[in-house]
Amino acid sequence: MDNSLIDDLERNGFAIIRGFMPAEEMAEISAAVDRMYDEGMTHHASYHHKNLCFELLKDPVLKRKIVVQAYWFSWIDKTLEEQRRHPRYLEVLEPLLGRNIKQISNQIHWKPPGAKYSDYRFHQDLRFREKPEDFNNITRHSYTTALAIDPQTAENGALQFFPGSHKLGYLGLSDGGTIMNGGDERTKGPTKAEELAAVKLDPKDTVLAEMEPGDLALWGLLTVHGSKGNRSKTIDRRVILNSYVRAEDSPLRGEWAFKDGISTPLGPEPHLCKYEDLYTKPGPYYVEGDWVAEQ
| Residue 201 within any structural domain of the chain | yes
For residue 286, what are the β-bridge partners? 47
| Domain region containing 53 | 3-287
| Residue 167 within any structural domain of the chain | yes
pLDDT at 274: 87
Distances (CA, A) of 22 to 3, 25, 249, 257: 22, 5, 31, 20
Say how far apart CA 207 and CA 153 lie, in whole Å. Answer: 12
**The pTM is what?**
0.95
pLDDT at 182: 56
| Residue 28 within any structural domain of the chain | yes
| Residue 128 within any structural domain of the chain | yes
Q: Pick from 214, 225, 6, 202: which is nearest to 95 by CA?
A: 6
Q: What is the CATH number of the domain that holds 272?
A: 2.60.120.620
pLDDT means over runs of 10, the chain (295 residues) = 85 97 97 98 97 95 96 98 98 97 98 93 92 91 98 98 97 81 52 88 96 98 96 96 98 97 98 92 91 49
3-state secondary structure the chain: CCHHHHHHHHHHCEEEECCCCCHHHHHHHHHHHHHHHHHHHCCCCEEEECCEEEEEEEECCCCEEEEEEEECHHHCCHHHHHHCCCHHHHHHHHHHHCCCEEEEEEEEECCCCCCCCCCEEEECHHHHCCCHHHCCCCCCCEEEEEEECCCECCCCCCEEECCCHHHCCCCCCCCCCCCCCCCCCCCCCCCCHHHHHHCCCCHHHCEECCECCCCEEEEECCCCEEECCCCCCCCCCCEEEEEEEEHHHCCCCCEEEEECCEECCCCCCCCCCCCCCCCCCCCCEEECCCCCCCC
Number of structural domains in the chain: 1
| Residue 140 within any structural domain of the chain | yes
| Residue 294 within any structural domain of the chain | no
| Residue 192 within any structural domain of the chain | yes
| Residue 293 within any structural domain of the chain | no
